[in-house]
Every structure is written in structure tokens, then in C-alpha cells.
Amino acid sequence: MIPAPFDYEVAESVGHALALLGDRDDAKLLAGGHSLLPLLRLRVTRPALLVDLGRLEELSYVRDKGASIAIGALTRHHDVHQAPLLQEHNPLVSYAAGLIGDPQVRHRGTIGGSVAHGDPASDLAAVLLALDAEIDIASAGGVRTVAAADFFQGVFMTAAGPRELVTEIRVPKLTGDHGWSYLKFRRRAQDWATVGVALVAKRANGGVESAAIGLVNMGATPLRASAAEQALVAGADAGAVAAEGTDPPSDTQASAEYRRHLAGVLVRRAAGEALG
Ligand code: FAD
């Protein structure tokens, strides 16, 4: 289908993008377009104005911030995957970015677009949740920081409002005591995850001091598998309780029951990978 008519403006800076959004509720930001354009073509969304962020070089970076790594919202998945700083200090993020879609998607799609879209099937959203990432959101009133745990609020719903712009995402540096894994189960290469598991565990005294597990496609938002995290620290079978508190969808890819089963299998495997 052909999208409904819209006006189009190119933002020259973050301030310019916010000014273009103004106090309108009928404008939408355009980053890589890989989630928004299909929705426009299906006329699921009909914004009167598209504000193109694509040329905002100021939001395309990966920087060392001491204890954390900062990633600009316009950084493409390919660049997140290739960033030496992430490969050294948080390989979980760079590895997961390399599993998104196909090369074309990774060269156009952005990390900011991925989180702002609020799709529970997103790979990076669950990874950021497991990492307790921080997300900066700019508006005419200034910049506020939201924890990943508070950012994802429902299917395609996030803490970023219609006149706000995600500018930066920060992830912690992992140390030698951390083990990690990202496992993505999909029926065909380059598909979205049927279920995905992001796991980070900190080892201490031959055991597990702390664990964080993010689940992809197991509910309306990316979810933390809290019961499995506790089981891992207690030395119990994390897979047995991986699906506790989840509400996975049934669709053409898999039934909810199969997704629950997959979550258990993947959490067990991810724990083995992270701690092995
Ligand atoms: P856009 O499509 O431009 O925007 C998406 C939404 O976010 C829009 O509502 C837009 O207004 C808003 N937005 C964008 N940037 C900002 C910002 N900085 N601040 C506030 N709001 C903003 N994703 C996966 O995780 N895993 C996959 O396996 C996967 N496979 C894919 C396969 C295909 C064929 C396609 C087309 C997409 C796939 N994706 C996958 C999605 C891809 O990662 C998208 O790039 C991503 O979801 C959206 O990023 P974008 O930059 O393209 O955002």
C-alpha cells in the first residue's frame, strides 16, 4: 500500500528536531525507517509530519564514559555491532546487534529507533533491560534519564512521549567476573526472535553472585526473568522457572506454550554459556 500523505522535514540538530515537533501530536520522528515505514505503508499510523533524524551525526557515536559506554540514538545496528569499545567492554550489546535482521536492516536501523519503537520482539530491548541500561530522553524542557526497567511500558508503548526524542543509551562496562550470553531462537536465519534470552551473570567464590536475564517476545514488553535470576544465584535450575511471570503471545511463529518451553531451554543454555 501507499502511505497517507505527510509533510517531511529534515532535522539539522536535536534542538531543530524538537522545534519541528513543537507541540504537535500528529508528527513522528523517522530514524532508520525500518519499523516506521512498514507501518506507514499499511496506514497503521498516519502522521501529518515526518521529522527525519537520519542526518543527525551528533547522535551517532559510541563513547567511553568511565564506568559505562554511551551509545548515541542514531547509531546504526551495524556500527553498534562493530564498535571496538563495545566489543571490549560490553560484548553482549555488540553481539546481539549483529543478530538483528539482515545486513540491510543493520545498516539502516538505529538503536534509538529500536528502543523507541517498543517492540517486545526487539533483540536490543531485552539486552538493555538485562543490563539495567539508562536511556536519555530530550524534550523542550531538557533531558531526563529513564531506567530501561521503566522505559518499556507496553506493545509499542514507551516512556518517550510524542514530543520527545531518545538521544543516548548507556550500558555498564562488564568486568572479567561477568559472563554473558545472548541466544535467539528463530525459525529461519535473519528472522525476528521467536524467543530470545539475554543473560549476564557475575561470578564470585566459585558461584554466582548476581544474575540478570532479559526475555524477548515473552510478553507485552521485554521482561526480566526474576525467578530464573534468583534460581541461578541459588544454584538451582533456572530453566525450570524461566517462564514464571511471563505472558507470551501465540502467533504464526509459535504457541504461547511452546514459547514458555523455549524460554526454559534457552535460559539453561545461556546460563551454561555465560558461566562455562
Ligand atoms: P524507525 O523505523 O525510523 O522508527 C521506529 C519508531 O521509533 C517510530 O515510531 C519513530 O518515530 C520512533 N523513533 C525513531 N528514532 C527515535 C528517537 N531517537 N527518539 C524517539 N523516537 C524515535 N529488530 C530486531 O530487534 N531484531 C530483528 O531480527 C529485526 N529484524 C528486522 C527485519 C526486517 C526485515 C525489518 C524491516 C526490521 C527488523 N527489525 C528487527 C527492526 C529494526 O531493528 C528497526 O531498525 C528498529 O526496530 C527501528 O529502528 P529504526 O531506526 O529503523 O526506527
| CATH number of the domain to which 99 belongs | 3.30.465.10
Query: Is residue 1 one of the residues assigned to a domain?
Result: no
For residue 139, the model assigns a pLDDT of 97
Same domain, 74 and 162: yes
256 CA distance to ligand 1 centroid (A)? Answer: 25
How crowded is residue 166: how many other Cβ atoms within 10 Å of its Cβ?
A: 28
pLDDT grade, residue 141 (50/70/90)? very high
> What is the atom index within ligand 1 of the atom nearest the CA of 38?
36
From 74, 105, 167, give the residue whose CB has the most ligand 1 atoms within 8 Å, as the site to mutate: 105
Q: Is 36 in the pocket of ligand 1 (CB under 6 A)?
A: yes
pLDDT grade, residue 276 (50/70/90)? confident
Report the CATH number at residue 35: 3.30.43.10
The predicted model gives 103-123 an average pLDDT of 97
* Side-chain-side CA neighbours of residue 262 (13 Å): 23
Same domain, 127 and 202: no
For ligand 1, atom 35, name the residue with the nearest CA: 34
- For residues 74 and 54, give the distance between their C-alpha atoms in angstroms, rounded to a whole number: 7
**At which of 126, 142, 170 does a domain end?**
170
For ligand 1, atom 16, name the residue with the nearest CA: 113
- For residues 82 and 71, give the distance between their C-alpha atoms in angstroms, rounded to a whole number: 12
Query: Is residue 201 one of the residues assigned to a domain?
Result: yes
pLDDT grade, residue 191 (50/70/90)? very high
Query: Is residue 43 one of the residues assigned to a domain?
Result: yes
The predicted model gives 34-56 an average pLDDT of 94
Q: Is a pLDDT exceeding 80 seen at residue 94?
A: yes
| Nearest in space to 275 (alpha carbons), one of 188, 196, 220, 213 | 213
pLDDT grade, residue 1 (50/70/90)? confident
Share of the chain above pLDDT 90, in %: 95
For residue 29, the model assigns a pLDDT of 98
For residue 28, the model assigns a pLDDT of 96
Q: Is a pLDDT exceeding 90 seen at residue 33?
A: yes
**At which of 34, 52, 70 does a domain end?**
52
Domain span including residue 137: 59-170
257 CA distance to ligand 1 centroid (A)? Answer: 28
pTM to 2 decimals?
Answer: 0.97
Sheet holding 134-139, edge to edge: 62-64, 68-72, 165-172, 134-139, 142-147
- For residues 93 and 125, give the distance between their C-alpha atoms in angstroms, rounded to a whole number: 10
The predicted model gives 240-260 an average pLDDT of 97
Please give the backbone phi and psi of residue 126, each rounded to the nearest 5 degrees, phi first. Answer: -70, -35
**At which of 148, 170, 192 does a domain end?**
170
